[in-house]
Amino acid sequence: MKKKLRFNDTGFLLAVTIGLFVLMYAAGMIVFADAGFAKPQMFLNLFISNAGLIVISLGLTLVMITGGIDISVGSVTALVAMASAYLMEVAGSGACTALAVSLLIGLAFGLVQGYLISYLDIQPFIVTLAGLFFGRGMTAVVSTQMISIKNETFLAWANYKIYLPIGTHNKRGVFQPAYIYPTVIIALAALVVIAVALKYTKFGRRVYAIGGSQQSSLMMGLNVRRTKFQAYLLNGFLVGLGGFLFTLNSCAGFVEQAKGLEMDAISASVIGGTLLSGGVGNPVGTLFGVLIKGTISSLITTQGTLSSWWVRIALSSLLCFFIVLQSIIFSHKKKNAPH
């Protein structure tokens, strides 16, 4: 009975998130139809622009389900972008080397932060706050100047288009197919892997159990420390990968890059149904949380007169709404739970 209640509650939160996205995007299609909001390419652009954020948010969802947090992801992303740009443009390394280093940077942060949190019992906020400052500082150590990436292989990856059998006809009647970039496929593949891992593997079940109650997990014989460490390590890998996808979109590295990205990722996870207290979360919901953020940004950009700060204002309002909604739902559940 308890498991059924949990499923219904999380399913309701996911339905609210998806419904909100559909409502917002449908409104945009109606209001900004003349600006091309109803075209398939506009919808696909949500995935293209936010591929890196999707992957990073998946990692954050993972650690949030365990009851943790990671506010260093924006700084790590900036470090990945700057290191990649420096390697290719200053050191003369190849794009494959930059990708490998990006993943290693993410894994290094995940390894150190995961160990401090899991085995030394230091609060996740404190550890990742230190990671935030360290990552941003190391970005400036690499270079204080913006480095534009001109590596031919990297640009070929960044600009490679995969055309789809959907699209629109221009005024001359010529069919213009819609397209995506490989970054979108990588982001969706990461989503599938994380969703399957959380739902169908022992690791996934341990992650949810630990987030629900660490004490109960210990009584059941689960290795809480190892599972939390693995979650942070996987999060680090995803941040490294997402940071490289982010770099493919920007084709540059600079010190102030990805500022506030950690708040976007946390907001996407919470709006997608992940509880800040842990134990509940859905990767699919996180995807729609990112798409909602992207839709807000597209609506404000298309509108043309509002400042980009309205994206933050709208996102913070939605974040508060979903936190209150989660609180109401799970408080009601606790009151009705048998004692």
- 322, two tokens: 């979903």
pTM: 0.94
Q: Where are the domains of the chain?
A: 2-336
User: Is residue 28 within 8 Å of residue 302, measured between CB atoms?
Assistant: yes
Tell me, what's the pLDDT at 215? 86
Phi, psi of 179 (to 5 degrees): -145, 160
**Fold topology of 2-336:** ABC transporter involved in vitamin B12 uptake, BtuC (1.10.3470)
Per-residue pLDDT of the chain (339 residues; tens, 9 = 90+): 334 444 456 788 899 999 999 999 999 999 988 778 889 999 999 999 999 999 999 999 999 999 999 999 999 999 999 999 999 999 999 999 999 999 999 999 999 999 999 999 999 999 999 999 999 999 999 999 999 999 999 999 999 999 999 998 888 889 999 999 999 999 999 999 999 999 999 999 999 999 988 888 888 889 999 999 999 999 999 999 999 999 999 999 999 999 999 999 999 999 999 998 899 999 999 999 999 999 999 999 888 888 888 888 988 999 999 999 888 877 766 566 555
Q: Which residues lie closer than 8 Å to 67 by C-beta, 6 or more apart?
A: 210, 211, 214, 277, 278, 279
- 257, two tokens: 């890059």
